């Protein structure tokens, strides 16, 4: 199973939010580029990046930092946050990212998602960010009033190459992921699923490995707070 250490960028810094709340964030001293280098030096192969400024504004705000990470780290990178047009998708692919994550735009405009999958085969990942069973958009500030599972059933045949499921109520809380809901998503998804939100220990990683149709897991706050040591985590990476 793939391990995706996380880097969330806000105001050019590494930050972690609690339940996606921008007013409840922790900033970390190490720069995003330095943090990516640390992951590479420990032997990780994959990296999950979110441009939080982009998620709020709908623009690709931190392109310079992300391009720097890509050029220096040589990691397999999935990137999300503020990607709301084909030009932005193309730009990231040209930079060399492995997957471009579509969230808000894909929920609000299913046809955009469909066309993106056709235009960029095997490059589009879909973010399903759920709170109490419904999808959230626009930096998790808006409730779309769409059921997670109903939406997935509608877009399941579009050609998405990876699905990232986040339980917002668990994100940044270190209470373990919502394995029950993730399993429901993975059971009906036509593409492999990445678990996100709430990872607190190596035990969570081991449990994720027992689930069907799970490609990997994203680990964020538990790394930054020292609950999970990189030396232990990298042993679970495959």
Residues with catalytic annotation? 8, 129
Q: How far is CA 111 from CA 117, 133, 161, 168, in A?
A: 10, 23, 16, 25
* Kind of pairing between the strands at 2-10 and 13-18: antiparallel
Q: Which two tokens stand for residue 156?
A: 């399941």
Phi, psi at 130, each rounded to 5°: -115, 145
CA distance 199 to 178: 9
Could you report how far apart the first and last alpha carbons of the chain are, in Å? 5
Q: How far apart are CA 219 and CA 84, in angstroms?
A: 25
Strand, coil or helix: what is 211? coil
The structure tokens listed for 146 are 């769409």
Contact 222, 200 (CB under 8 A): yes
Antiparallel, parallel or unpaired: β 46-51 and 13-18: unpaired
């Amino acid at each position: 199973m793939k391990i995706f250490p996380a880097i969330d960028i806000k105001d050019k810094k590494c930050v972690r939010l609690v339940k996606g709340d921008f007013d409840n964030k922790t900033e970390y001293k190490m720069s995003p580029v330095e943090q990516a280098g640390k992951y590479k030096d420990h032997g990780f192969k994959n990296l999950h990046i979110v441009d939080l400024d982009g998620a709020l504004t709908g623009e690709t705000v931190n392109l310079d930092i992300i391009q720097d990470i890509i050029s220096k780290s040589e990691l397999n990178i999935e990137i999300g946050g503020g990607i709301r047009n084909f030009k932005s998708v193309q730009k990231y692919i040209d930079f060399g990212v492995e997957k471009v994550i579509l969230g808000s735009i894909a929920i609000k405009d299913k046809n955009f998602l469909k066309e993106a999958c056709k235009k960029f085969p095997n490059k589009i990942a879909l973010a399903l960010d759920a709170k109490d069973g419904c999808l959230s958009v626009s930096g998790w500030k808006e409730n779309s009033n769409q059921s997670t599972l109903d939406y997935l059933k509608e877009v399941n045949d579009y050609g998405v190459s990876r699905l990232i499921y986040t339980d917002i109520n668990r994100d940044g809380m270190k209470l373990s992921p919502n394995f029950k809901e993730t399993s429901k998503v993975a059971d009906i998804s036509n593409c492999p699923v990445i678990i996100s939100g709430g990872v607190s220990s190596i035990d969570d990683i081991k449990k994720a490995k027992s689930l069907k149709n799970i490609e990997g897991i994203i680990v964020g706050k538990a790394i930054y707070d020292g609950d999970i040591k990189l030396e232990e985590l990298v042993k679970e990476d495959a």
